[in-house]
Structure 1
Amino acid sequence: MEHWLWIILAALFFECKGEDKVIQEQGDVIAAEGDTVTLGCRFETTRTGPTLFWYKQEINSYPNYMLHCLSTTTLKAEEFNVDRFDSKINETSVPLKIQKLQLSDSAVYYCALQPTVTGNTKTLYKNLWSKDNRILHNIH
């Protein structure tokens, strides 16, 4: 029996230094165990050689640092230092690729520009899915 995962790409707009921001427009991603997904993250910055970060937040938990990308290097936290997780900076994006999906990959994923960000966030909508893909809760 195939188990479905839910991955929510947080649609947050973090602003740093006035004009710097990350944009995650993709929304919810529903995939099956074993699939590969790529979560998008665009960024705008006035900095040369920016550093982009990815975080994973599971239900009832805090955001957990996964990895960060420099111009040609990706450094991963120990628990994410496996081939299933990968990200690289392109000109204006830093997509996160997750391969061989597992149920434990169900979470909200955030990308950020620099390790500490401040600013306004747009409303985050989270859908919690049952195994047969019915929406269980819609949290605003």
Structure 2
Amino acid sequence: MQPLVGMLFIMSLRKCLWTGDEIQQKESSLSKEEGQSVSLECTFSTTSTRYWIHWYRQYPGTGPQFILLSGSDSYSAEFAKERFSSSADKSSGKASLSISRVQLEDSAVYYCALQTTVLNLHQHSYKNLLHLLSIKDNLKNHSVSFMRK
């Protein structure tokens, strides 16, 4: 197995003050080997009865890529159906993205977002998570980094 090293950082938070919706994450760092599982977590609160936690990943030089959503409904991108899963529980205020059998292509910036529906208006409260992963092998070191302007 080759080591897979990951770090999570909080980059920014937007809070929907008039609806009381919020999503947050503590800073943490992760260290995993290729083939192991990893879980990213957010805490959230919402007064809405319908809510969704969206997860995205972004590679350098590209736009965000939708992974999946969970909450009132669930949906996954085709690539995510085998190894990615998510849960969101309003009563505990916890949401997580789990990746099984981590691979090099899982190295990316990961984002979670809270979406709610209030009076048929969609409100978004986004949380940016920086997830740096690198895999080291005998030949080269692959790493992903992110700079915020």
**Fold in common (TM above 0.5):** yes
State the partner residue of 2:124. 117
1:4 CA drift (Å): 2.3
| Contact persistence 1:14–1:112 (CA under 8 A) | no
State the partner residue of 1:79. 79
**RMSD of aligned C-alpha atoms?**
3.3
1:8 CA drift (Å): 3.7
Matches of 1:136 and 1:80, distance apart in 2: 20
Matches of 2:132 and 2:81, distance apart in 1: 28
1:126 CA drift (Å): 7.2
* 1:37-71 per-position Cα deviation (integer Å, ceiling 9, x unaligned): 11001111111131111111112222111111123
1:137 CA drift (Å): 6.8
Instruction: Name the larger-Rg structure.
Output: 2
The structure with more strand, counted as a fraction of residues = 2
1:12 partner SS? strand
Ranges of 4+ aligned residues in structure 1 off by more than 4 Å: 124-130, 135-140
2:95 partner SS? coil
**TM-score, normalised via structure 2 length:** 0.71
Percent of paired sites with the same residue: 32
Counterparts in 2 of 1:103 and 1:7: CA distance versus 1, 3 Å? farther
State the partner residue of 2:35. 34
Report whether the alignment pairs 1:15 with 2:15.
yes
1:100 CA drift (Å): 0.3
1:61 partner SS? coil
What runs of 5+ residues in structure 1 fail to find an aligned partner?
Answer: none
Count the aligned residue pairs: 135
Report whether the alignment pairs 1:105 with 2:106.
yes
What runs of 5+ residues in structure 2 fail to find an aligned partner?
Answer: 116-121
Matches of 1:5 and 1:137, distance apart in 2: 13
1:26 CA drift (Å): 3.7
**TM-score, normalised via structure 1 length:** 0.74
1:16 partner SS? coil
